[in-house]
Structure 1
Amino acid sequence: MDAATRLAPVCEAIARLLSPHAEVILHDPATDRIAAIWNPVSGRSVGDPSLLGELRSTGQDVHGPYPKSLSDGRRLSSVSAVVRGADGDADLVLCVNVDRTAFDEAARLLAAFAAPEAGRPGALFERDWTETLNDVVGSFVREVGTPVDRLARDQRLTVLGRLDTAGVLGQRRSAPVVARALRISRSALYQLLADLREDPDAP
C-alpha cells in the first residue's frame, strides 16, 4: 500500500471536520503534482502542478500557518507537513488550506458588537433607581468575590449602606425589590435596616 493510500482516510477525516471551509491536498514531491485532493475550494484537481520547489528546499517538515490567497480574493490560512518514508525521503506533502471568509466575517460582526458603548441616556434612566440598585449590588459581589446569596451579615449591611448613600432605600416601595436583589426575606431586610439605622457605621 503506497503512502497516499495510507494517508487517504486521515485526509478525508480532516476535510470532513473542517467542511466546507477547508481543502486537504496530498502532493507528490517526486512528480511535483497533486496526488489527491478533498473539498477543492481552490479549484485544483489531481494531476495539477504542486509547485513545491520552494517548500522542499527549506529543510523543515512542518510549515505554517501561513497566508495564501485565491484568485477571487478569498484569503486562506495554510499548514503543510512533509511526510517521510522509512528511508527519510519525502514521500508526500500534506497541505490543509482553510478558507478564512466565514471567520473574517464573524470577526467583523463580533467587533461591531464590541464597539464602545455611548453611555446610558439620562432622559430614560435618571429616575430608574432599580438600575442603581443593580449596579451597587453587582459591583459589591464582584468586589468581594462572593455570590449575593452567600453574603454574610456584615457584607449585607455594607451593601445596604451603599444603597442608602445612593438614595435607593429612600425610594417608594423599594423594600421588596431590595430584598429580592439581596436574596433575603423582607423581614430579614427590615432587621438589617433597623441595625443599620441604629449604628450607621455598621458593620
Structure 2
Amino acid sequence: MAEIWAPIGAAIARLLGPQAEVVVHDPVTDRVLAIWNPMSRRGPGDPSLLGELDTMTPDESGVYGPYQKLLPDGRRLSSVSAVVSDDEGSPIFVLCVNLDRTPFEQAAELLSAFAAPVTERPKVLFEHDWTERINQVVGGYVREHGRQAGQLTREDRLSVLAELDRLGVFDVRRAAPLVARALRISRSGLYALLAELRDQRSDR
C-alpha cells in the first residue's frame, strides 16, 4: 500500500524539502512505512507512536492540524496528519507532513528588525533640502490615498501643490521642474495648476 502513495510523499517532500519531513504510517501495526527528509532519526519499520492523534479531533476530511511538535534540538514543527480509510471506514495509512518552522521564524525576526522604529531624522541636515521636502509631500499623499503619482486627479494635484506652496517650495529657484517630475506632469501643466490654485485663493 505504501508504494501507491510513495509518489505523493515524494512530491510533497520535493516541494517543501529540506524544510519538511514526510512520513507514511501504518496505523494497524503502528509502524513507519516510508519517510522522506527524515528529521526525527526515524526510518521505515520504526514505531509510529500515532497515539498522539487520539487526543485531537480531525476535520471532516480526516485531517488533523496544523499542530505543533518539537524536535530534541529545540526546533519547532508545524504538522498535519491525514488519515486515509478504506470503503468501510477503517484507517489504512496515515500521511504526516512535519514542517520545520526555523527558517520562517528567522525570516520573521529579520523583518521585525527592519520594521523597528527609526529615530527622527536630523532637521539640521534637511532644513534646506527642498528635494527631500517635495518627495515627502508627494510621497505622503500617494501613500495616504493609495494612488501612484501618475494616477492623481486634478484635485489631488491641486491639494499637493497647495501644501508645497504653503511650505514655500515655489519660492526656491528651480523647484518647479522637480515638482513637475514628482507629480509626473509637464512643466506647463504645473504652471497651469499653480495659476488655478492662486486664482482660487484670490476669489475667496
TM-score normalised according to structure 1 size:
0.87
CA separation of 1:188 and 1:202: change in aligned 2, threshold 3 A: farther
Shift of 1:138: 2.7
Matched residues in 1 for 2:152 and 2:74: separation?
57
User: Which amino acid counterpart does residue 82 of structure 1 have in structure 2?
Assistant: V
Paired residues of 2:56 and 2:64 also in contact (CA < 8 A): no
Q: CA RMSD in A?
A: 2.3
Shift of 1:200: 2.2
Q: Deviations over 1:145-170 (max 9, x none)?
A: 55433444444333222211011111
Residue equivalent to 2:73 = 72
Q: Secondary structure at the match of 1:200?
A: helix
Shift of 1:96: 0.5
Q: Secondary structure at the match of 1:118?
A: coil
Residue equivalent to 1:130 = 131
CA separation of 1:150 and 1:93: change in aligned 2, threshold 3 A: closer
Counterparts of 1:133-152 in structure 2, within 5 Å, are: 133-143=134-144, 146-152=147-153
Q: 2:45 aligns with which of 27, 41, 47?
A: 47
Give the 4+ runs in structure 1 shifted more than 6 A: none
Matched residues in 2 for 1:170 and 1:14: separation?
64
Aligned pair count reads 201
Counterparts of 1:183-202 in structure 2, within 5 Å, are: 183-200=184-201
Matched residues in 1 for 2:184 and 2:55: separation?
68
Matched residues in 1 for 2:68 and 2:16: separation?
17
Matched residues in 2 for 1:116 and 1:75: separation?
29
User: Which amino acid counterpart does residue 99 of structure 2 have in structure 1?
Assistant: V
User: Which amino acid counterpart does residue 162 of structure 1 have in structure 2?
Assistant: E
Higher helix share: 2
User: Which amino acid counterpart does residue 40 of structure 2 have in structure 1?
Assistant: S
The runs of 5 or more residues in structure 1 that have no matched partner are: none
Residue equivalent to 1:170 = 171
Paired residues of 1:157 and 1:202 also in contact (CA < 8 A): no
Shift of 1:172: 2.1
TM-score normalised according to structure 2 size:
0.87
Paired residues of 2:57 and 2:64 also in contact (CA < 8 A): no
